[in-house]
């Protein structure tokens, strides 16, 4: 018999993908402009102009054999050095090229890191709501994912977190700005998470790693401060992706950064290289490695996302919805007016609004609205949201 766990993963689509696929069919039926698809986190803002110009230059001016050839397994040295230098300049860290491992986006960064750190039976803690694939990636690395609740503002609940730590806990995944809530964890919360881990280590000798999943690091509004985990906790690994910050999700490019202040940083980096090898994830796309080197520091124009957030937040609040106003990413977390978020999402569908119930993100009674759509779509969808709100009055 073949591996039934993987048969199961292959056969069961995520709720998000289900709704997205439904949306494609529905758009074919009634016209694209009549379906308000807020299901997927596919960036709607184009990449910065430099991405296009540098790509054209790379293709027209570089020896194609070198450009498209294999790089070192962990990524081209000059690219890794450029990433390390960029991080050092921005966050006062001291990464070297050998702290960085180039990957096919955050999903690969997470899979490699979890496989590098976990032994069979280890536990990984994250905070609900969380990106549902964490459960799949953790299980595949031999571990179990445990979700700890957040408070009403969707900041991690530190008391519950401290109580959830056991001798089996190997790592904590934090994701800020968060998918699906859009919330940026405060510096106070980050410090408290680190303090709880230090205390646990002092009491038990158990060293727990923080894995910071940061595809939305640059997508913040109004100068919200996103603490860089390496400045707070030494046993840490950053899983980064350019999917959202440069609107390049289909190109599959990101990196892992291992904190070289960690007690066993060399061993962690070796394990990252080993897990990359064992998973067949060596040599991230060579063309996009070179592109990244040329556009480091550039980000998409986040003002469009901010405009969408402001418009949607204000409108939904005025219709009577309970909205968590987020400081980052491009998601809005909205309380379902009835207790069952699935039923609410179904009723929204009758108004051609495609929104995602948050049960699979580990929180009941909420829906996620991905507002990475055009401002025109937001505007056109508002009467449908109003009609939906009226049904609950």
Give min distance, CB of 213 to ligand PLP, in A.
Answer: 5
Any idea which residue has 């959830």 for tokens?
A: 164
Cβ-based nearer residue to ligand PLP, 192 or 243: 243
Q: Residue with the closest Cβ to ligand PLP?
A: 105
182 belongs to the binding site for ligand PLP (CB under 6 A): no
Residue span binding ligand PLP (CB under 6 A) among the ranges 18-26, 66-74, 102-110, 135-143: 102-110
Backbone angles phi, psi at 29, to 5 degrees: -75, -50
**206 Cα distance to chain centroid:** 27
Instruction: Answer for the pair 341, 362: CB distance below 8 angstroms, yes or no.
Output: no
Residues 208-247 that bind ligand PLP (CB under 6 A): 213, 215, 241, 243
- Helix then strand count (H, E) for the chain reads 14, 13
Residue span binding ligand PLP (CB under 6 A) among the ranges 105-113, 263-271, 354-362, 370-378: 105-113
Q: Cis link prior to 177 (omega < 30° from 0)?
A: yes
Cβ-based nearer residue to ligand PLP, 180 or 200: 180
Which residues lie below 8 Å from residue 96, measured CB to CB, with a gap of 6+? 81, 84, 260
254 belongs to the binding site for ligand PLP (CB under 6 A): yes
Cβ-based nearer residue to ligand PLP, 256 or 286: 256
Report the relative pairing of strands 209-213 and 236-241 from DSSP bridges. parallel
The number of residues that bind ligand PLP (CB under 6 A) is 13
**74 Cα distance to chain centroid:** 22
Instruction: Answer for the pair 328, 184: CB distance below 8 angstroms, yes or no.
Output: yes
175 belongs to the binding site for ligand PLP (CB under 6 A): yes
Pattern 36-55, ligand PLP, x by CB under 6 A? -----x--------------
Contact set with ligand PLP (CB under 6 A): 41, 105-107, 131, 175, 179, 213, 215, 241, 243, 249, 254
């Amino acid at each position: 018999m073949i591996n039934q766990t993987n048969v199961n993963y292959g056969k069961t689509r995520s709720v998000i993908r289900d709704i997205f696929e439904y949306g494609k069919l529905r758009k074919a039926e009634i016209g694209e402009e009549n379906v308000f698809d807020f299901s997927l986190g596919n960036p709607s803002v184009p990449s910065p102009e430099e991405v296009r110009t540098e790509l054209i230059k790379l293709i027209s001016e570089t020896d194609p054999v070198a450009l498209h050839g294999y790089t070192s397994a962990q990524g081209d040295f000059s690219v890794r050095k450029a990433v390390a230098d960029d991080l050092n300049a921005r966050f006062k860290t001291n990464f070297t090229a050998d702290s960085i491992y180039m990957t096919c986006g955050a999903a690969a960064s997470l899979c490699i890191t979890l496989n590098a750190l976990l032994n069979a039976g280890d536990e990984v803690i994250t905070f609900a709501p969380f990106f549902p694939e964490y459960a799949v990636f953790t299980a595949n690395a031999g571990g179990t994912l445990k979700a700890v609740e957040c408070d009403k503002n969707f900041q991690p609940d530190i008391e519950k977190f401290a109580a959830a730590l056991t001798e089996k806990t190997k790592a904590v995944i934090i994701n800020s700005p968060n998918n699906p809530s859009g919330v940026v964890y405060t510096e106070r919360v980050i410090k408290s998470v680190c303090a709880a881990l230090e205390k646990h280590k002092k009491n038990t000798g158990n060293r727990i790693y923080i894995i910071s999943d940061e595809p939305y690091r640059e997508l913040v509004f109004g100068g919200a401060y996103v603490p860089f985990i390496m400045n707070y906790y030494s046993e840490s690994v950053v899983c980064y992706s350019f999917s959202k910050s440069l609107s390049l999700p289909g190109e599959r490019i990101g990196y892992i950064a291992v904190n070289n202040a960690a007690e066993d940083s060399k061993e962690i980096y070796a394990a990252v290289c080993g897990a990359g090898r064992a998973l067949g994830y060596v040599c991230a796309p060579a063309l996009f490695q070179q592109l990244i080197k040329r556009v480091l520091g550039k980000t998409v124009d986040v003002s469009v996302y901010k405009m969408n957030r402001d418009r949607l937040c204000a409108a939904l609040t005025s219709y009577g919805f309970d909205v968590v106003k987020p400081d980052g990413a491009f998601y809005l977390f909205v309380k379902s007016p009835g207790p069952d978020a699935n039923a609410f999402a179904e009723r929204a569908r009758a108004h051609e609004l495609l929104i995602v119930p948050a049960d699979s993100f580990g929180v009941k009674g909420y829906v996620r609205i991905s507002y990475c759509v055009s401002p025109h779509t937001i505007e056109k969808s508002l009467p449908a949201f109003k009609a939906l709100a009226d049904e609950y009055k």
